[in-house]
Chains A and B, each alone.
Chain A
Amino acid sequence: MTSDLSFPERRTLIRLGAASMIVSAIPLTALADPADLTSAQRRLFGDREIKQGRVTLKLPAIAENGYSVPLSVDVDSPMTESDHVRQIAIFSPRNPIAEIVRFELGPRAGRASVSTRIRLGGTQTVQAVAELSDGSLWSGAAKTVVTLAACVVL
């Protein structure tokens, strides 16, 4: 019985080993670097200053499956006609495309709180940037350790 049970575990280990070799073999050029993240942000928001704060980004501390990672973002805003969140963009420094998703909100949204499921190509610190109705930009970040990365040739 014990040997029967140990077999799948060994195979899993072998597969994990093989997977990690593939992961380390992908050329780094296939992945976005911080420069891509900056240029993606510039495309959306121009050269305006991005301040820290008001944005809370939540990701699991450990994501076992990079193909589906739950993400939620909250922005501290009264969401009124005169003071609301216009848009929130989520950026990754390690995915092939730095911009993951962009949410458009307005006073009718009532609450600046959105969640979805994203793909992550590896352990990284994901960033959320919110643009408010006064044009100011605020950011928040969350780090997650990805056990099985997405965007890998499998």
Chain B
Amino acid sequence: MASIRLSVPATAKRGDVIELKALIQHPMESGYRRGSRGEAIPRNIITRFECRYDGETVFAADFHPGIAADPFLTFHTRATRSGPVLFRWTDQHGESWQETAMLTVT
């Protein structure tokens, strides 16, 4: 299980733009490195990130090997309604990890 760290404000005023931060532990192996015996290390990267909130994908990203290990994202959304904010990462093999944070909108 990959370790995930999120930063989501606990409360926000309706209409406010809030900052969201998300980090997942992942090697993001580029496929361009070689091991100690010269063997090629196969590519192993997260290719997709999605953030769902209030019934819609509010932000998404396609990752390529140019994203550093332990991908870290800071982005924004407008607070509309109290509820879960879901963060989901999917790797090149289709395996995915997700985490939610509760946001209370006043």
Contacts and interface: CB of A to CB of B under 8 A. Distances in A.
B76 interface: yes
Contacts of A120: 66
B64 A151 contact: no
A106 B58 contact: yes
B32 A96 contact: yes
Interface residues of A, number: 34
B46 to A, nearest CB: 11
Contact of A109 (B58, B68, B73, B74): B58
A108 B56 contact: yes
Contact of B68 (A68, A97, A111, A153): A68
Interface string A59-79: 000000001110010000000
A151 B34 contact: no
A101 B59 contact: no
A74 to B, nearest CB: 11
B34 A101 contact: no
B34 A153 contact: yes
Interface string B51-84: 0011011111111111111011111111010000
Contacts of B77: 108-110
Given A109-B77, A110-B78, A117-B68, A102 B62 contact: yes
Given A68-B68, A90-B66, A100-B66, 9 more contacts: A30-B32, A97-B64, A97-B66, A99-B66, A101-B63, A103-B61, A104-B61, A115-B73, A117-B67
Interface of A: 30, 67-69, 72, 90, 92, 95-97, 99-106, 108-111, 113-120, 150-151, 153-154
